[in-house]
Amino acid sequence: MVAVASREIRDGDLVFVGMRLPILAYAVARNAHAPNARGLFEVGLMRDQPASEFLGTMGDPPNVTGALWATRMSNVMALMAQGRVDLGFIGGAEVDRFGNLNTSYIGEPSRPKVKLPGSGGGADIAILSRRWVTLMSHERRRLVERVSFITSPGYGDGTPGWRKRNGLLGGGPVAIITTLGVLRFSEGGGEAHLASVHPGHTVDDVRANTGWDLKVADDVSETSAPTDAELAASRRFDPEGFWTGPSAHSGGTSP
Amino acid sequence: MGGRLRTNPNLVAADGLVHVQAVRPDIAIVHVQRADEHGRAHAWGPLGITEEAGLAADGVIVSCEDLVDSSVTLSDPNRILFPETKVVAVVHEPGGAHPSPVQGHFKRDHAFYRDYAEQSRSVAGFEAWLSRWVFDVPDRASYMKEIDGEAIRITHHQFSAPADFGDT
């Protein structure tokens, strides 16, 4: 999942790097195919080198040493509001077919079964970054027909122009990367379709674990396995498997 | 629209603009690398909302790693976070941010956070944690003796270049 996420980062991108897996994806991309990508951290940092040590949070001292810019949160968010951020990553508890994300409540928002951490920088990224990607564990309870609450808007009700009509400046989600495959959105948004399936899984697996009738691309393929360079970078920056191991703290939102 | 969100049709060129009611804390508590007895606080690293918190609050309590002479803080007035007139107390409390890090002083205590996450999964575990680390600890100095100091020790120092604030 980290390697696949890292491939969404293009060389030269300014990437809004949330916590958890996106930090690793940035580290992998920077070492593999995007040496000129810069990372922006909402706590108030810009970097062009992954930190030299494991990070538990984005404000850890190794992430500050060698920074290109250390500032306050509002300056970083303002860059995004100006449309200067190319790509953002957002985790979530629930996502629907139109890419809307929920990190707020499970159940009826006025009487929730579960209260989640809330937006963090998620809604800002979803509204303002030029494009964004969701990372999520692929389960029926997470990929749902309808999210309980829209914390971070994707393409709303899926009708053409929904984002523009609602004044959302950024382009919207381009992919939902899960533990089973990659769902993509066509140019202009709308509904997600299955673009590739990770090695060891099938289209039927993915559809069976999705809470709506998932469309499948005509040219659906197998996701390329992580390269040696991608795996080496991932292991270097997460030596204990804290973010990527079997009991990794996946999902959730930043920070 | 409820809560703290408002629209204001009278704002010029503010078509559809929604604004959020200001947060006005009575007190902001911040922990910084160094401060003087007049409340001039220096902090560096990612500032997050440190400045905004202090500027929005009616009063600021500054806790610091190093209590320094005002010649140190005034040597770099750009680094002072808030007007000294807002600061109501300065507390010299090394380690005051633990288990979070302080740039140049100590690292984040990852194991301490993981332990908290484990223990706080149950009410009994959370209460045991509170007793162990909050209620049964007489003061911060005792607390600092209990933690794994080696795990958070800064191994490599890297100082910034001085800035010239002359003339006269």
- Rounded Cα distance between B41 and B52, Å, is 14
Sketch the domain layout of chain B as residue ranges.
20-93, 102-155
| pTM (2 d.p.) | 0.86
Structural domains in chain A, sorted by start: 2-237 (3.40.1080.10)
Q: Which residues contact A168 (CB under 8 A, 6 or more apart)?
A: A126, A127, A153
Catalytic hit among A42, A53, A139, A222? A42
Mean pLDDT along residues A26-30: 90
Q: Tell me: cis bond preceding B99? Omega within 30 of 0 counts.
A: yes
Mean pLDDT along residues A173-191: 95
- Rounded Cα distance between A48 and A39, Å, is 6
Does the annotation count A42 as an active-site position? yes
Q: Inspect the interface and report whether the beta carbons of B101 and A59 lie closer than 8 Å.
A: yes
Of A56, A64, A65, the CB nearest to B113: A56
Q: Inspect the interface and report whether the beta carbons of A72 and B52 lie closer than 8 Å.
A: yes
Of A56, A61, A71, the CB nearest to B103: A61
What token pair was written down for A71? 């500032």
What token pair was written down for A37? 């990508």
pLDDT per position as a tens digit, A111-147: 999 999 899 889 999 999 999 999 999 999 999 999 9
CB < 8 Å to B107, chain A = 60-62
| Residue A229 near residue A32 (C-beta atoms within 8 A) | yes
- The residue in chain A having the minimum alpha-carbon distance to the alpha carbon of residue B111 is A56
Q: Distance from A55 to chain B by nearest Cα, in Å? A: 9
Q: Which residue has the higher pLDDT, A54 or A129?
A: A129
Of A43, A60, A73, the CB nearest to B108: A60
Residues of chain A contacting B, Cβ within 8 Å:
41, 43-45, 54, 56-62, 64-65, 67, 70-74, 167
Mean pLDDT along residues A177-201: 95
- The residue in chain A having the minimum alpha-carbon distance to the alpha carbon of residue B50 is A72
Q: Distance from B47 to chain A by nearest Cα, in Å? A: 5
pLDDT per position as a tens digit, A55-102: 888 899 999 999 999 999 999 999 999 999 999 999 889 999 999 999
